[in-house]
Structure 1
Amino acid sequence: MRTTGLAAIATMVAGCAGAGAGTSPPVKPAAGQAGIAATSATPSTSATPKPTGVEAVLARMSVEDKVGQLFMPVLYGPAADGSSGENQARFGVGTPAKAVAKYRPGGVILFPWAGNIKDVRQVVALTNGLQKASPKIPLLIGADQENGRVSRLAPLVTDMPGASVIGSTGDPSLARKAARVTGTELRALGINLDFAPVADVNINPKNPVIGPRAYGSDPRKVAPMVAAAVQGFHDAGIASTAKHFPGHGDTNVDSHSGLPVIQHSLSQWSRLDAPPFAAAIGKDVDAIMSAHVVMPKLDPSGDPATLSKPILTGLLREKLGFDGVVSTDALDMAGVRKKYGDGQVAVRAIQAGVDLLLMPPDFPKAYQAVLAAVKSGRIPARRLDQSVRRLLKLKAARGLLERAPVADPAKAERVLRSPEHRKVAQLIKDRAR
């Protein structure tokens, strides 16, 4: 298939967005509809109706509340009420619960290196405790659980094969099954957002950071796998994130330690990188994560995509039509920190079109920089509301706007690594080529 440009993307999506996904359940409401559909009728009176759902929550929020929603930091320790010197140093308070109460972030992300993941009951107690500390607006609790090489919840969850193994089967229905298993286990732990699937096409065999994390090297085969995985996460009732936009597959530099440059033209990007992201959008993916890569032929500024308005707003929002949540990749990575300070990186990301600021290395500095930018008008109030509204709509779509579900530790122990889930993992291994 050699057609190029956006017409090629449209053709690719039509052919693969639902491929191999089996009989799909009803698609969730499009971004912007969740949480307000039931109250959209206008009363037959001249009075202005009161805002409901997402709009009602937004109307109650202070500027500080709204700025807090834009952040997803790492909090340290195994317990929500456990004191930690790391939390004290980074947030000015000792416990994760107090950090949540102080800054009111939109979410948190869990990592074993932060001491968050010890055993099933501990993780359930942690997620429940974090949600209890955020009574007004429930948290997005995220995990970077791709399976394979990137498996932050190992060994608690089922040892599911990674994307390259699933891709080798040529069967997108297995990508859906794997995502449903992982999503079901994460939800049982109280985690409601996974930073998966990887939508990169691993074009460069020397790629040091993607490699087997991708479903393959052919966009025509990767796109239906990504679409099926998004559907699988939705089957499980959790939010899904396609990453790393506009594509991290043709790099020979790891953006954790450097700033990769990809020389794809618009037509090459449309043909090689874009189809899996377009397929994910076709399945109403909840979020898309930006890449800390420079694509000078898409944006000659030299800024990484995370800070690029032509890429995040121009290509992702306007060309591909995505109106869900745009998340940064981790802001503590070298690829995004070289040119600007940690405060201004956060501001510039929002200006570029980002909604969720992931893992800022200096949370208070980033928070204060964004708050100051809002108060000065550098980030207009309407732009702030745009991002907060998207985040609230994501929460509404996943049943998290009014009240967070409470995870049950006994149920989690039954669900994680269940015989049924291990059978799915073995099926994929048996069919891998």
Structure 2
Amino acid sequence: MTSPHQLLWTGFRGLDAPEVALPFKPGGLVLFARNLDPDPEAGPARCRALIDGLQARFGADLPLAVALDQEGGPVSRLRPWVGATPPLRQVWTRGGAEACAAWGRLWGEGLHLLGFNVDFAPVVDLWDGHPEAGIGDRAASADPAEVASAAGAFLHGLESTGVRGCLKHFPGLGGTTLDSHLGLPALEEAARVDRNAAAFIPLAHADRLVMVAHLRTPASAPLPASLHRGSVVENPWGIQGRFLPDDLEMGGCADWTWDDRVRLSLEAGHQWLLVCQTPEGWTACAEAAGRLPESLYRVPLQAARAMRRNLVPAAPFDARAWQAWLGRLQTTAGEA
């Protein structure tokens, strides 16, 4: 049986493939600013060489899922290369669905050139005016229907390029006042949870990536929704998807041991285990996964591998195509 380590979508250290040290073979990789050379001339080609090298090393039998968070605005891993870009709220407010689709397509085209096949975007949380909670203008609107329209258009543009999107942060962080990177936010009113979740309903389907938040709700307490089966595959809104928890190193789930985080994630119905920040974290997650009985990881592993088989391969890196794309993106940003 294939190793449960292939359930991990892991971060890593290093900017070049030979220096990347992982004590296991993951199923997916997540890149951060620490993995990207900030030099706008050398950085893009170096990023592509890094991804190609890791695909050759870990994805020879089955392509790796390779992701990053590229929303635009405050969450833009490509900022050193592309400059400032508008957040989703600004794009939606000024240009509506057409502009959201155009930005999704732009980001997808650039990510595809770099070798990425997944973008952890768009945000489907509701805007609530609480920037200290970590969402702010990353959310398009306070209205669920408008958020669904904005995020749906962004997804349509993004996925037209062969790059998968990911709905986040289900069932919605709107109305929270604590950043889940730091601790476990909570919503006390079921009606607020229902309103947040309404934005996801038109967008989710069985083959769509859905990232679940570390968020305590009346239904999930004392667990975060991310570790609660009744908030994931058995959620009351009937939302389906390829579920994955938000980063399992975040403060929102730090009160649980690694064995519990991993076990509860799979019991909840997640197909992936997202662990991104430190060697200690991804090693502990991998070790906990290795202690699981096969009965717990067999089905999610089959599902994760099925998704990997359908990832769209990237063509060889083309520096001229990158420069042409960069010019279009910067022109669009200047007009936003």
Normalising by structure 2, we get a TM-score of 0.90
Q: Secondary structure at the match of 1:280?
A: coil
**C-alpha deviation, 1:342, in angstroms:** 2.5
**C-alpha deviation, 1:261, in angstroms:** 0.7
What is the rounded CA distance, in whole Å, between the counterparts of 2:148 and 2:207 in structure 1? Answer: 13
Tell me what 1:385 maps to: 298
Deviations 1:109-163 (CA, angstroms, capped at 9, x unpaired): 1111355665111101101101110211111111111110011121224643111
Within the alignment, does 1:160 sit opposite 2:85 as a pair?
A: yes
Within the alignment, does 1:308 sit opposite 2:228 as a pair?
A: yes
**C-alpha deviation, 1:422, in angstroms:** 2.8
Superposed counterparts of 1:25-424, under 5 Å: 62-64=1-3, 67-82=4-19, 95-96=20-21, 99=22, 103-114=24-35, 119-133=43-57, 134-157=59-82, 159-169=84-94, 171-205=96-130, 207-265=132-190, 267-270=191-194, 272-281=195-204, 286-295=208-217, 297-299=218-220, 301-315=221-235, 319-322=237-240, 324-338=241-255, 340-359=256-275, 361=278, 362-375=281-294, 380=295, 383-399=296-312, 404-411=313-320, 413-418=322-327, 420-424=328-332
Q: Secondary structure at the match of 2:243?
A: strand
Q: Give the aligned residue type for 1:169.
A: R
> Unaligned 5+ residue runs, structure 1?
1-61, 83-94
What is the rounded CA distance, in whole Å, between the counterparts of 1:137 and 1:170 in structure 2? Answer: 39
Superposed counterparts of 1:7-18, under 5 Å: none
Deviations 1:320-370 (CA, angstroms, capped at 9, x unpaired): 341x321211112111112x1223212211111111111255223222222
Q: Which runs of 4+ in 1 moved over 6 A?
A: none
Q: Give the aligned residue type for 2:148.
A: A
**C-alpha deviation, 1:63, in angstroms:** 3.7
Cα RMSD for the two superposed structures: 2.2
Compared CA separation, residues 150 and 320, structure 1 to 2 (3 A): same
Within the alignment, does 1:426 sit opposite 2:334 as a pair?
A: yes
On the 8 A contact 2:82/2:330 being kept in 1, the answer is no
Deviations 1:70-114 (CA, angstroms, capped at 9, x unpaired): 1011111110012xxxxxxxxxxxx34xx3xx5221111111135
**C-alpha deviation, 1:393, in angstroms:** 3.0
What is the rounded CA distance, in whole Å, between the counterparts of 1:204 and 1:353 in structure 2? Answer: 32
**C-alpha deviation, 1:263, in angstroms:** 1.5
What is the rounded CA distance, in whole Å, between the counterparts of 2:314 and 2:169 in structure 1? Answer: 29
Q: Give the aligned residue type for 2:183.
A: G
On the 8 A contact 1:189/1:412 being kept in 2, the answer is no
Deviations 1:385-424 (CA, angstroms, capped at 9, x unpaired): 321232233223333xxxx445414255334412x33333
**C-alpha deviation, 1:226, in angstroms:** 0.9
On the 8 A contact 1:128/1:407 being kept in 2, the answer is no
Higher relative contact order (CA 8 A, sep 6+): 1
On the 8 A contact 1:142/1:193 being kept in 2, the answer is yes
Q: Secondary structure at the match of 1:255?
A: coil
Identity %: 26
On the 8 A contact 1:188/1:411 being kept in 2, the answer is no
On the 8 A contact 2:168/2:210 being kept in 1, the answer is yes
Normalising by structure 1, we get a TM-score of 0.71
> Unaligned 5+ residue runs, structure 2?
none
Q: Secondary structure at the match of 1:289?
A: strand
On the 8 A contact 1:241/1:289 being kept in 2, the answer is yes
* Larger mean Cα displacement after TM superposition, 103-112 or 358-367: 358-367
On the 8 A contact 1:207/1:253 being kept in 2, the answer is yes
What is the rounded CA distance, in whole Å, between the counterparts of 1:114 and 1:348 in structure 2? Answer: 30
Tell me how many residue pairs correspond in the alignment. Answer: 329
Q: Secondary structure at the match of 1:236?
A: coil
On the 8 A contact 1:343/1:367 being kept in 2, the answer is no
Q: Specify the structure having the higher radius of gyration (Cα).
A: 1
What is the rounded CA distance, in whole Å, between the counterparts of 1:151 and 1:199 in structure 2? Answer: 17
